[in-house]
Amino acid sequence: MNKAQLVEAIQDKLGGRQQAADAVDHVLDAIVRTVCAGERVSVTGFGSFEKVERPARYARNPQTGERVRVKKTAVPRFRAGQGFKDLVSGAKKLPKNDVAVKKAPKGSLSGGTTTKKAATKKAAAKKAAAKKTTAKKTAPAKKTSAAKTATKKTATAKKSSPAKAAAKKAAAKKTTAKKTAAKSAPTKKSTAKKAPASKTSARKTAAKKSARSR
């Protein structure tokens, strides 16, 4: 059976030849693209398609018998499922009015690598969500700590302000005392200087009195 015959075999069930051809093309295209990407396509009861890496090796040319080096290659491989094997071997009978390969359960149509990728993506999304929630929780805590430090600073500033005011007052008192002392010092000196003049006047009056008495 070729592709055209396959389309003819399923066109009655899919509602027309075009619909059957499109379905076959899409199924084969999906299988080929997935296997080329290195992933596995598994259909329960039918088989699995996968990519196999073959290392470089030496082989012999069947015509000449010459030893030839074969490069490293990758080839597709199909492994028949157990249900398919049982039907071919005759261990199970083909159903007359039912599909030979029944609908596979959820998650069995994709390979193991795709499921792993989906799981890793989900785990990464969960981690990102957890980080966001922790960041949201820590942000208010940081704000409250900053507010507490600000209140502490203001309280200390308020406490220190009376002490500063008292120190300023004491300094002002000292400066005023110095100024008053400086002002009073010259007056004392002038009085001290004026004292000899009074002594000389007393001497003159005493001399006049003595002259008159004579």
- How confident is the model over 157-189, as pLDDT tens digits? 555 555 566 666 767 777 666 666 556 544 444
pLDDT in tens, 109-131: 444 444 445 556 666 777 777 66
Instruction: Please tell me the pTM assigned to this model.
Output: 0.46
Give, in order, the Cα–Cα distances in Å from 178 to each of 17, 171, 174, 188, 192.
Answer: 118, 11, 6, 16, 22
The DSSP output letter for 59 is E
Q: Please, which pLDDT band fits residue 98 given cuts at 50, 70 and 90? A: confident
**What does the mean pLDDT of the chain come to?**
74
Share of the chain above pLDDT 70, in %: 52
What average pLDDT does this structure show over 14-25? 93
Q: Phi-psi category of 90—alpha, beta or left, where left has phi over 0 and alpha has psi -120 to 50?
A: left
pLDDT in tens, 30-69: 999 999 999 999 999 899 999 999 999 999 999 999 999 9
Q: Please, which pLDDT band fits residue 95 given cuts at 50, 70 and 90? A: confident
